[in-house]
Every structure is written in C-alpha cells, then in structure tokens.
Amino acid sequence: MKYNSIDNVDKAILALLQQNAELPVSEIAEQVGLTVTPCWRRIQKLEEKGVISHRVALLQARQLGLAMTVFVQVKAGKHDGKWLATFAKHAASFDEVVECYRMSGEYDYLLKVLVTDMDCFDHFYKRLVNGIEFSDVTSSFAMEQIKYTTAVPLNHL
C-alpha cells in the first residue's frame, strides 16, 4: 500500500492507533464514522500491507533506570560491503543500541544508545570498539530530551 492509497478514514485510524494501540475496534470505528466490521477490515489491510508493522507497549527508559542517552557517531574503517555487513551485525547485537542509522556527511553511522550511567556506557563502548575496525568514533551525551515521539507524521497524506 502506497501512501497515496491511504484515504482520510485510514489516516484517522492510523492517528488513533498511534495514540493508543489498545483501543477497541468498536471505539476506533465510532470515532472514524464506520461500523466495526469495515473498520476492522481496514486495520487488517493496513497490517497486511505493512503500513502497521507492530503494536507495542512503549516503556519509559528513565523509569527503568536507563537515565543516560548517548549518540555515538562512527566513521567506517573501510567502505565496502563486507565491512558494512559486519558493522551492521555488530551494532545490532547490543541491547543498548535502540536505533542505528547509516548517514550521509562526516560520520557514516549514528547509534542511539540507552544506558544506566557512565560506567555502563564505558563497558558498552569497550565492547563496541573491540573486534571491529573504525576510522573514528565519537559520543555525545544527551543532557535533556526536548521531544520524543514514536508517532509518524500523517499531515502529508
């Protein structure tokens, strides 16, 4: 399903599910002006087409002791497919890495890392740089979270 095949009803359904994925279909249907069965079918279609990939519980990292957010920027040791695949597998193997992106610009990769404290980050960092060749690695520590959302913007639809 391409974004241009999403109508205003689908958009409203997606907005509601992004706010609360536990809403009963009957409540979603009422809010978007459908009966339950057509609403359920639309949700199923959005899931089948991959527009909705998961329904999850969002946890508060700080409430779980993960008080430190670190952005780690990595310059590749080599620029070839083998190094990229090795690095992607290596980075994905760490539970502390909650997001990983291949970037344009000065640094090749950006990792978002959640840890409890500096000692935990130091332990993570040593494991990250062990066994893989980097050209450069630098870290920035988030001092304050200004905005955080998992909601995907829908205004362009």
pTM exceeds 0.75, yes or no:
yes
Query: For residue 131, what pLDDT band results from cuts at 50, 70 and 90?
Result: confident
pLDDT at 22 over 70: yes
Q: E-assigned strands of the chain?
A: 68-76, 97-102, 109-115, 134-141
- The domains of the chain, with CATH numbers, are 3-48 (1.10.10.10), 62-141 (3.30.70.920)
Share of the chain above pLDDT 70, in %: 97
Other Cβ atoms within 10 Å of 74 Cβ, number: 24
Looking at the DSSP bridge assignments, the partners of residue 71 are 112, 140
